[in-house]
Chain A
Amino acid sequence: EAEVAQSPRYKITEKSQAVAFWCDPISGHATLYWYRQILGQGPELLVQFQDESVVDDSQLPKDRFSAERLKGVDSTLKIQPAELGDSAMYLCASSLSTDTQYFGPGTRLTVL
């Protein structure tokens, strides 16, 4: 069964450093989502892509976060500089349309 791939699975960094996360959605899925999940809470949408275009980035802290999906397939989420409050699980999901979302295993970020 096809899966959403994410890497790395774990990332430890110091504050003020730059970090990047990668996501490869299920083949053929046009819609890609990045979520942030703080421990003990539900996922919060950061950015949504339809192919290579951003559909919704209203909750993305644009002073330090950026996301791209240049060829409409895989995607990268970057944080620069990282802050202590960015420690969380970063989840990527994909879907064929706006129906069922399929999630990757996530990247757990710890900022020291």
Chain B
Amino acid sequence: GNSVTQMEGPVTLSEEAFLTINCTYTATGYPSLFWYVQYPGEGLQLLLKATKADDKGSNKGFEATYRKETTSFHLEKGSVQVSDSAVYFCAPDYGQNFVFGPGTRLSVLP
């Protein structure tokens, strides 16, 4: 079945460090790709998305590029802030079926 694999956490970084969270998905069909973020005690918020190959989604300094050849959608940010501490979920959308990864917890230390 359809699945997604995410980099295991937790990830702990110092403020202003570079962030990469890896995500790969199964290549069934041509899914739209999403990153959601969940702050403590809250629901999920859409962070960014990409709907076709080579598209780059971006928001709040985060970026991810739809790489069809490697079935990947890695999340990056050049300089993280303490306020970025949260759990990040990669989620391919296979039409009627969203599949969420297990989430990667990010802690940014001042």
A binds B: yes
In Å, the complex CA distance between A102 and B98 comes to 12
Q: Which residues in A have their C-beta under 8 angstroms from that of B101?
A: 42
- Quick check: B97 and A99 within 8 Å, CB to CB? no
- Quick check: A41 and B46 within 8 Å, CB to CB? no
- Quick check: B34 and A106 within 8 Å, CB to CB? no
Q: Which residues in A have their C-beta under 8 angstroms from that of B91?
A: 42
Is A88 at the interface (CB under 8 A from chain B)?
no
Give the contacting residue for A91; candidates B34, B43, B96; CB below 8 A.
B43
**A111 → chain B closest CB, angstroms:** 19
- Quick check: B95 and A98 within 8 Å, CB to CB? yes
Contact segment of A43-51, A66-74, A76-84:
A43-51
- Quick check: B42 and A105 within 8 Å, CB to CB? yes
**B22 → chain A closest CB, angstroms:** 15
**B63 → chain A closest CB, angstroms:** 18
Restricting to A84-110, which residues have a CB under 8 Å from any CB of B?
91, 93, 98-106
Q: Which residues in A have their C-beta under 8 angstroms from that of B49?
A: 100
- Quick check: B34 and A100 within 8 Å, CB to CB? yes
- Quick check: A101 and B98 within 8 Å, CB to CB? yes
Q: Which residues of A contact B (CB under 8 A)?
A: 4, 6, 33, 40-45, 48, 55-56, 91, 93, 98-106
Q: Which residues of B contact A (CB under 8 A)?
A: 32, 34, 36, 42-46, 49, 89, 91, 93, 95-98, 100-103
